[in-house]
Amino acid sequence: MTTDVLLRADDVVKDFAVRRHGPRVRAVDGVSITVHHGETVGLVGETGCGKSTLARCLTRLYELTSGTVAFAGRDISRLSRHQLAPVRRDMQMIFQDPYGSLNPRRRVGSIIGDPFAIHGVADGHDRQRRVQDLMKLVGLNPEHYNRYPAEFSGGQRQRIGVARAIALQPKLIVCDEPVSALDVSIQAQVINLLADLQDDLGLAYLFISHDLSVVRHVSDRVAVMYLGQIVETAPARQLYQQPRHPYTAALLSAAPVADPDRADQRQPILLTGDVPSPADPPAGCRFHPRCPKAQQRCTVEAPALVAREPGDDTHLTACHFPLDSVDELVPR
């Protein structure tokens, strides 16, 4: 892994209008995140916390309300669609729904060949040959070139999506819940495929998921999102072993454990209440209404995402009272 930054997002904000001229919902609220060359960054959080919106802001499928996104050192957050076209060759996306992300009326060969056609890279037989090479690379039968998406299984379809994403040999692939619609056994195949491709092609991934064990398996670094903000980011191993934000700790404690003996001993940290509406987020720290450690200060002052231990600038936490140990939260 090299240390130069491939993608740097600064203070990204995305608002949606509920109705025209109606109240606005802040789906992403001041997120900063970096992805280095060849690195996998995991992004976890509950459904509705703004993960997918952030992904679409980073790939400029959505216009940013404010903030900047720099890709390979170039600010892309204000580029026009025309100016963005060359950038898109280096930044691709894999989508959650293997059924919805492939046009049912088009043959698979034509779908995978889209990047070549759009960027005018290859034509005719050359394009077909390259598409079939890609199909081989992702473990599909190249003879199925002329089939329709409906004739493939969910896992095979996600391979089609992967083939389309890697066609132009991008530097970064944003994976928006790439395996959450698949069976567990198929999930492993697709994840292994992504890992192999990373080794072969030197890809960087931004890997979005609500599945903590999947993210732990694939990620070098992990960022945790809550209500449109990143609350904690750290190297994967450190985050899972020593979470400092109470929300991260609660999230980790809720993940199922495969070992029944350890599962019995486990004491989940139960959060009270529901996730507040992003249309009307709580004042101060957004997590304070559900936080077992919340104090007066948390209700008025929003904590910044900073290093809480001197000299450790890789582990950032947005909490006034970060945990020293998870045991602080376990009910006695």
Partner 1 sequence: MSTVPLQAVSPVAGDDPVAADIQGRSPLRLALARLRRDRVALASAATILLLVIVAVAAPLIAHLVGHDPTTQYRDTGLTPAGLPIGPNRHFWFGTDNLGRDVLIRVIYGTRVSLLVGVVSTLLAVALGVIIGVTAGYFQGATDTILARFMDVVLSFPFLLFAIALVSVAGPSITVSVFVIAFFSFAAVGRIVRGQTLSIREREYVEAARSLGASDLRIMAVDVLPNLIAPVIVYTTLLIPTAIVFEATLSFLGMGVVPPTPTWGNMLSDSLQYYQVAWWFILFPGLALLITTLAFNLLGDGVRDALDPATERLFAEK
Residue 70's identity, in one-letter code, is: A
Q: Rounded CA gap, 240 and 233, in Å?
A: 11
CB of 76 to partner 1, least distance (A): 12
- Tokens representing residue 214 in the block: 């999947």
Binding string to partner 1 for residues 165 to 194, with x set by CB under 8 A, is what?
Answer: ------------------------x--xxx
Give the residue among 155, 143, 136 at the shortest CA–CA distance from 107: 143
Residue number with CB closer to partner 1 (64 or 294): 64
- Tokens representing residue 275 in the block: 């996730």
Binding flag, residue 96, partner 1 (CB under 8 A): yes
Residues 259-318 that bind partner 1 (CB under 8 A): none
- How many residues make contact with partner 1 (CB under 8 A)? 57
- Tokens representing residue 172 in the block: 């970064």
CA 256 to chain centre: 21
Binding flag, residue 219, partner 1 (CB under 8 A): yes
Q: Rounded CA gap, 246 and 299, in Å?
A: 15
Q: Rounded CA gap, 123 and 121, in Å?
A: 7
Q: Rounded CA gap, 76 and 60, in Å?
A: 8
Residue number with CB closer to partner 1 (116 or 287): 116
H helices of 167-302, in order, are: 184-201, 212-218, 236-241, 246-254, 260-265, 296-300
Residue number with CB closer to partner 1 (112 or 298): 112
Binds partner 1 by CB under 8 A, chosen from 30, 48, 139, 276: 139
Angle at 209 (CA atoms; ends 189, 188), nearest 5 degrees? 10
Binding flag, residue 213, partner 1 (CB under 8 A): no
Binding flag, residue 85, partner 1 (CB under 8 A): yes
Binding string to partner 1 for residues 5 to 44, with x set by CB under 8 A, is what?
Answer: -----------------------------------x----
Binding flag, residue 128, partner 1 (CB under 8 A): no
Site residues, partner 1 (CB under 8 A):
40, 56, 59, 61, 81, 84-85, 88-89, 92-93, 95-97, 100-108, 114-115, 118-119, 138-141, 143-148, 151, 153, 155-156, 159, 161, 164, 189, 192-196, 198-199, 205, 217-220
